[in-house]
């Protein structure tokens, strides 16, 4: 779970984001949209402790983000999946191998064998496909109605 309690982030005296209070449950799936410069990337980086809050509190799976060591942050990131807009795949690997790469790198790749798709990879791919399809429908909806 990711919890934010009046979290804030800023580079100087002015906060870029402030008053963030929310709970994201384990296994939940969310879209984050907004105009350029609205703070989407900053918000995401706070969610996986790439950035630490300059105010308030952020808790990741019961651990205060500010109190985590570098190794502690790395361990927690294995439980958080983020698909970025500019997601890069390795050209020489098939799609399923690209999706399985984080499991392979973290030493969990022995549960994946060629020809047999691990359920986690299949579910992840299905969620990404469904989310992409839903996003395209909204894009089409807003494109059509913005022309009228």
Boundaries of every domain in the chain: 1-82, 86-148
Look at residues 50, 94, 56 and name the one whose alpha carbon lies nearest to residue 68: 50
Would the pLDDT of 143 be above 50? Answer: no
Fold (CATH) for 1-82: Rossmann fold (3.40.50)
Q: Look at residue 11 in the predicted model and tell me its pLDDT.
A: 82
Name which residue leads in pLDDT, 83 or 148.
83
9-21 pLDDT, tens digit per residue, is 998 878 889 999 9
Q: Which residues contact 146 (CB under 8 A, 6 or more apart)?
A: none
Q: Look at residue 148 in the predicted model and tell me its pLDDT.
A: 46
Would the pLDDT of 33 be above 70? Answer: yes
Residue with the two structure tokens 């496909």:
129
Q: Look at residue 49 in the predicted model and tell me its pLDDT.
A: 92
Would the pLDDT of 101 be above 80? Answer: no
The pLDDT of 111-121, averaged and rounded, is 51
Look at residues 31, 23, 30, 24 and name the one whose alpha carbon lies nearest to residue 5: 23
């Amino acid at each position: 779970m990711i919890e934010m309690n009046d979290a804030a982030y800023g580079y100087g005296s002015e906060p870029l984001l402030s008053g963030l209070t929310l709970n994201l449950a384990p296994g939940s799936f969310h879209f984050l949209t907004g105009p350029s410069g609205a703070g989407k990337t900053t918000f995401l980086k706070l969610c996986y402790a790439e950035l630490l809050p300059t105010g308030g509190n952020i808790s990741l799976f019961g651990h205060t983000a500010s109190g985590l060591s570098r190794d502690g942050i790395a361990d927690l990131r294995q439980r958080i999946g983020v698909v970025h807009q500019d997601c890069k795949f390795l050209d020489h690997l098939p799609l399923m191998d690209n999706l399985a790469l984080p499991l392979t790198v973290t030493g969990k790749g022995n549960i994946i064998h060629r020809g047999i798709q691990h359920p986690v990879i299949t579910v992840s791919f299905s969620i990404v496909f469904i989310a992409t399809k839903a996003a395209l429908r909204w894009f089409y909806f807003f494109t059509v109605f913005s022309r009228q």
